[in-house]
Amino acid sequence: MHYTGSCHCGRIAFAFDGAIERLVDCNCSLCRRRGSLLYFTDRAHFELLTPAADMSEYRFGAQTIAHVFCPVCGCAPLGFATDPSGREMVAVNVRCVDDFDLDSVDVHHFDGRRL
């Protein structure tokens, strides 16, 4: 399935292909505060529709995940990282995906706080 999404003001827009069957609700100090519900996809299935220069980035802890947010509206739609096998991944906050029914999929609770 093809999905599109953006931050609140539209400065960061994106599209990706995938089958969203499960979401991750992480309780790390950042995700808990943001209220993110995450879908992970391979970077090859993801397209940034706006210039990367329009995004701001925040890293904490091990500094391995680039948590992306909009410097205008403050919305945090994405994160970029590499999985343990070296594959480039994108964590999409599905709360920023257009017309996605959050109740249509299962949510897995991930204990990121204890990592």
pLDDT single digits (tens) 55-105: 999 898 787 889 999 999 999 999 999 988 999 999 999 999 999 999 899
Residue-level pLDDT at 1:
94
pLDDT of residue 3 exceeding 90, the answer is yes
Q: Which residues contact 61 (CB under 8 A, 6 or more apart)?
A: 28, 115
Tokens of 48: 């940034």
In this prediction the pTM is: 0.90
Task: State residue 113's pLDDT score.
Answer: 74
Please give the share of the chain, as a percent, with pLDDT higher than 70: 97
pLDDT tens per residue, range 82-93: 988 999 999 999
Specify the CATH number for the domain of residue 99.
Answer: 2.170.150.70
The reported pLDDT for the residue numbered 115 is 63
SS3 state of residue 33? helix
Whole-angstrom Cα Rg for the chain = 13
Instruction: Domain count for the chain, please give it.
Output: 1
d(CA 113, CA 16): 28
Per the structure, the complete domain to which residue 59 belongs is given by 2-114
Instruction: Assess contact for 92 and 77: CB atoms under 8 A.
Output: yes
How confident is the model at residue 17, as a pLDDT? 96
Averaged over 45-52, what is the pLDDT?
96
For residue 41, which amino acid is it?
A: T
**Residue from 76, 1, 64, 70 nearest 33 by CA:** 76
